[in-house]
Amino acid sequence: MSSPGTAEREIKLSHGRSRYLEAGEGPPVVLLHGVGFVEGRDNWRLNIGPLSSRFRVLAPDLLGWGAGDQLNVGYSFAYLVDFVREFQDALDIRSSHVVGHSMGGWIASLLAYESPQRVDKLVLVASGGLATRPLSTMTTWQPPTEDFIRERLEKVSKAHPDPERAIRERLGLAQDPERTARFGRIMEHMSNPETRQRYNTTRRLPFISSPTLVVWGRQDEVNPLPMGEDTQRLIPNSRLEILEDCGHSIPVERADEFNRIVLDFLSE
């Protein structure tokens, strides 16, 4: 579900069609979602409208997520970073602000490291990238049941505004066997310790030159707060905002506070 004034668009890229949401005018802001089973671009449904009051906001489904095509090559962080560059190029965006949540923050970090000229300001929200261990049992893929979805939602979100609706949405999408198989392949790649070591950001973050805002929930159980503190410490021109009584799903759990913090930072 998109906000009023938000257009749903489709773009053809080299590996398939990506659906994206667009709203507002002004300097472009690209929002990169996390790895969650259902969310895709809809992870930003509470943020696009407020952010579009000052910016041109673009929230794509990464290929393999949401309503776009299945990726026809193997999943890799290298591909996902290339996806963002190709998305920018296809929309004639030479550079933009980039906001990434969880896995999207990992991708955004790699983009800012590899292609600094493409990232004006960077916002990392409960970002991955520092841990080399496999994903926890709560984020490792298994066939979704109601109990599994409920338990995972409780872990990633300490204050979801409508948890029962979120559970129903996930259960509905879990009935699609192609989607569940596709997501299983994604999670297999993301959980691979070799992959996580190869794309670990510890040695990359000190070379990020974009002004950076790091946003973390104090009660994050997926990427605990010490990861946020380390992320901020490693990036030279950065600062950390900690949200109280908040878990991993910051854009949903603390939408109003998150929107205000990001708008203030991007407008400086």
Mean pLDDT, rounded, for 140-165 = 60
Give yes or no for residue 187 having a pLDDT over 90: no
56-95 pLDDT tens trace: 999 999 877 776 666 666 678 898 999 999 999 999 999 9
Enumerate residues 6+ apart whose C-beta is below 8 A from 47: 31, 251, 255, 258, 259, 262
The per-residue pLDDT for 172 is: 64
Could you tell me how many helices (H) and strands (E) the chain has, helices first?
A: 10, 8
Whole-number pLDDT of residue 188: 75
Among 260, 224, 252, smallest CA distance to 158 is for 252
pLDDT band at 156, cuts 50/70/90?
A: low
pLDDT at 2: 52
Q: Which pTM value belongs to this model? A: 0.86
Give the domains, in start order, of the chain with CATH numbers: 7-267 (3.40.50.1820)
- The answer to whether 31 and 57 have CB atoms below 8 angstroms apart is yes
- Percentage, residues of the chain above pLDDT 70: 75
Residue-wise pLDDT for 225-256, tens only, equals 999 999 999 999 999 999 999 999 999 999 99
Mean of pLDDT values over 1-22: 85
Q: In the chain, pLDDT over 90 holds for what percent of residues?
A: 60
Q: Residue 167 above 80 pLDDT?
A: no
**Averaged pLDDT of the chain:** 86
Residue 134 has pLDDT above 60, yes or no: no
Measure the CA–CA gap between 61 and 154, rounded to whole angstroms.
24
Q: Is the pLDDT of residue 21 over 50?
A: yes
